[in-house]
Amino acid sequence: MNTSILNTETQDSINKNINSDINTLLLQKTPFSSEDIKEIIEQIEAKKRCKKKLSTWFECKNIYYPNKLNIEQTSSEITAKYKASLVKGESIIDLTGGFGVDSYYFSKQFKSVTHCEINRSLSNIVNHNYKQLQVNNIKTINSNGIKHIQDAETTYHWIYIDPSRRHDSKGKVFFLNDCLPNVPEHLDLLFSKSKNIMIKTSPLLDFAVGINELKHVKTIYVIAVNNEVKELLWVLKDDFNGDINIITTNLKKEEKVSFSFLMSEEKKANSEYHLPLSYLYEPNAAIMKSGGFNEISKQLNIYKLHKHSHLYTSNNNIPFPGRTFKIDSVLPYNKKALKKLRITKANITIRNFPESVSQIRKKLNIKDGGEIYLFFTIDLDDNKIAIICSKLK
């Protein structure tokens, strides 16, 4: 950590050039040495990535930034704030602290937070930044988190861990035992230090695989931001062997949309099917990842179009965790019939359909955009259909 970066003149230069072209900066004459200008540019690139993702850090004075890769890998503020809202207590330890965003929000829910980070430089950066952010209940430790709890006598109300995939696991099926640290290998140790464990994973981890590798899984949270699934949270409770609760949440700037169900209930539930009625519903990305396709039909009392389509319909407009459309017409998938509509521009979605969006656009000569929404799918009688809609939500 180069503390000269925190000098007033240097900080002013970073803020002044936050939107400047990096290549132009490299060619400009500056009062800084070539080594300093390289570090300043690294600070500019990293800080720029924080403007939307980590606005609290971006707006705070004298924040020191690690390389931009660390910023890309860290939790966003919106997801960190949400996961912190799920837990509280006396103490929590973050075994894979990173840039410290999750620990920062945990500090608002716990009396004491321990932040472990194996990288000495990053640990020093986080410690400095917490002082700038005026946080005084987080202890930063430059250590391997697993080794730290193994060597210490301390127990915690909660343990939080965000394992990262090993570089040699690229292209393989996502398994937790391919990650560092290897959580399944250390579960007994973790439970000896806390009765409550929260694990963050990529959405790539399959539910069945995660449940098989872990034990005492109580809740799985599927977290999406603006309809893009960002992470899964696995909450483990010592000695819990009950039904796993699945909670999906789509976080938006103005609202939080949630839907939950018990895993065993989804397996038992049966959807009712119907041809398209007055309204069409498309579940958000968090629900799509969760696989709660029968439960959403059962809980909201709406019909499914087809077993494999994951589109729903009803005669009455209901509040729905996803997109809602008013159905204007339904046609068989027939080029001649669709051409008669003279649609030249539309938003196209396919669900359980044998052709791609690009193939349909080319065949029907339809450009992207506009106010018309076309869904191409298969109905309960296995007929290919086109549903012409207008978006309500």
Radius of gyration of the chain (CA): 25
375 vs 27, higher pLDDT? 375
For the four alpha carbons of 376, 377, 382 and 388, in that order, the dihedral sign comes to: negative
Contact of 107 with 138, CB cutoff 8 Å: yes
Question: Which pLDDT score is estimated for 34?
Answer: 53
d(CA 48, CA 64): 13
Task: Tell me what pLDDT residue 169 has.
Answer: 54
Q: What is the pLDDT of residues 69-99, one digit of tens each?
A: 888 888 899 999 999 999 999 999 999 999 9
* Residue 239: HSE in the Cβ half-sphere, 13 Å Cα cutoff: 3
SS3 readout for 75-133: CCHHHHHHHHCCCCEEEEEECCCCCCHHHHHHCCCEEEEEEECCCHHHHHHHHHHHHHC
Q: Residue 306 and residue 97: Cα distance in Å, rounded?
A: 45
* Terminal-residue alpha carbon distance, the chain: 48
* Least confident range of 85-94, 160-169, 181-190, 202-211: 160-169
Give yes or no for residue 246 having a pLDDT over 70: yes
Burial classification of residue 322, based on how many CB atoms lie within 10 Å of its CB (0-12 exposed, 13-18 middle, 19 or more buried):
buried
Say yes or no to pLDDT of 30 above 80. Answer: no
Of 31-35, 71-75, 165-169, 349-353, the range with the highest mean pLDDT is: 349-353
> If you average pLDDT over residues 140-162, what whole number do you get?
96
Q: Which fold has domain 270-391?
A: VC0802-like (3.30.2130)
Highest CATH level, class, for 3-71: mainly alpha
At the topology level, CATH places domain 75-242 in Rossmann fold (3.40.50)
pLDDT given at position 29: 59
The span from the CA of 163 to the CA of 182, in Å, is 7
45 pLDDT tier (thresholds 50, 70, 90): confident
What's residue 6's pLDDT?
A: 86
So what's the pLDDT on residue 374?
A: 97
- Per DSSP, which regions of the chain are E strands? 89-94, 110-116, 138-141, 158-161, 164-165, 179-180, 196-201, 217-225, 228-237, 245-251, 256-262, 279-283, 303-304, 312-314, 322-332, 345-350, 367-378, 384-391
Q: Which of 17-26, 232-241, 367-376 has the lowest mean pLDDT?
A: 17-26
Distance CA 320, CA 257 (A): 9
pLDDT value at position 1?
77
Decide if pLDDT at 230 tops 90: yes
Can you give the pLDDT at residue 275?
97
**CA nearest to 100, candidates 72, 80, 79:** 80
pLDDT digits over 267-304, tens only? 999 999 999 999 999 999 999 999 999 999 999 999 99
51 vs 71: CA distance, rounded Å: 11
pTM over 0.85: yes
- Show Cβ contacts of residue 372 under 8 Å, excluding neighbours closer than 6 positions: 343, 345, 346, 347, 388, 389, 390
H/E stretch holding 24 reads helix 22-27
pLDDT of residue 33 exceeding 60, the answer is: no
pLDDT tens digit string along 364-388? 999 999 999 999 999 999 999 999 9
Residue ranges covered by each domain of the chain: 3-71, 75-242, 270-391
Residue 197: per-residue pLDDT: 98
DSSP-derived secondary structure letter, 342: T
When mean pLDDT is compared across 18-32, 37-51, 107-121, the lowest value belongs to 18-32
pLDDT of residue 346: 96
pLDDT at 170: 57
Tens digit of each residue's pLDDT (9 = 90 or more) over 100-114: 999 999 999 999 999
Confidence of residue 24 (pLDDT cuts 50, 70, 90): low
